[in-house]
């Protein structure tokens, strides 16, 4: 297998590396059809794969001391279409028909994905090398309005502080 070296990655692939690392977050969860409102803590472990062409992110959310949600996300860059992609597989069990896609706007990464249930929009805002914010919104099928789902702040932590994600 030919793995790309970091120096040979496109600038767009290199930009994805901002996600790499171990992160701990505090989340505000809105009431939705899937969950009650409240707070949560989360852990994220993200690693560059295939020489940095992809970033694989493992995420775990805890509410009241119990794991309440988990996901594996695979970020990439679609060079022909000049779009960031994110394939998400999560504990809800919905199989994604297509990835979320989007673009960078300064230090902000905006991604959207549609399904028969509606459209999800996730925004990552990178404040600095050790902090980022994430907001998740959802627009149910047939609706014109966006609903808040999760708003969070993540801070870089030592990978050894995260228990086997």
* CA 77 centroid distance within chain: 14
Q: 104: Cβ–Cβ under 8 A, 6 or more apart, which residues?
A: 15, 84
Contact in structure between 108 and 99 (CB atoms under 8 Å): no
Residues of the chain whose pLDDT is less than 70?
Answer: 1-7
Residue 2: predicted pLDDT: 44
d(CA 23, CA 10): 25
- Rounded-to-5 percentages of helix, strand, coil across the chain: 10, 60, 30
* CA 119 centroid distance within chain: 15
Residue 59: predicted pLDDT: 96
On the 0-12 / 13-18 / 19+ scale of CB atoms within 10 A, 23 is buried
Sign of CA dihedral 41, 47, 53, 54: negative
Beta bridge partners of 60: 43, 70
Residue 5: predicted pLDDT: 54
Q: 142: Cβ–Cβ under 8 A, 6 or more apart, which residues?
A: none
Q: Which residue ranges make up each domain of the chain?
A: 10-158
Provide the 10 A C-beta neighbour count for residue 99: 19
For the structural domain made of 10-158, what CATH number should be given?
A: 2.40.128.20
């Amino acid at each position: 297998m030919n793995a790309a070296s970091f120096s040979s990655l496109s600038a767009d692939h290199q930009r994805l590396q901002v996600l790499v690392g171990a992160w701990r977050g505090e989340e505000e969860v809105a009431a939705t059809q899937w969950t009650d409102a409240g707070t949560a803590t989360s852990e994220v472990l993200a690693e560059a794969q295939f020489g940095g062409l992809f970033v694989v992110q493992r995420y775990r959310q805890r509410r009241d001391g119990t794991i309440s949600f988990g996901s594996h996300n695979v970020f990439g860059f679609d060079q022909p279409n000049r779009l960031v992609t994110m394939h998400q597989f999560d504990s809800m069990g919905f199989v994604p028909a297509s990835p979320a896609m989007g673009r960078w706007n300064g230090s902000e990464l905006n991604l959207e994905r549609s399904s028969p249930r509606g459209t999800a929009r996730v925004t990552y805002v990178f404040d600095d090398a050790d902090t980022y914010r994430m907001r998740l919104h959802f627009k149910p099928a047939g609706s014109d309005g966006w609903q808040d789902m999760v708003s969070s702040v993540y801070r870089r932590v030592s990978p050894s502080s995260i228990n086997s994600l």
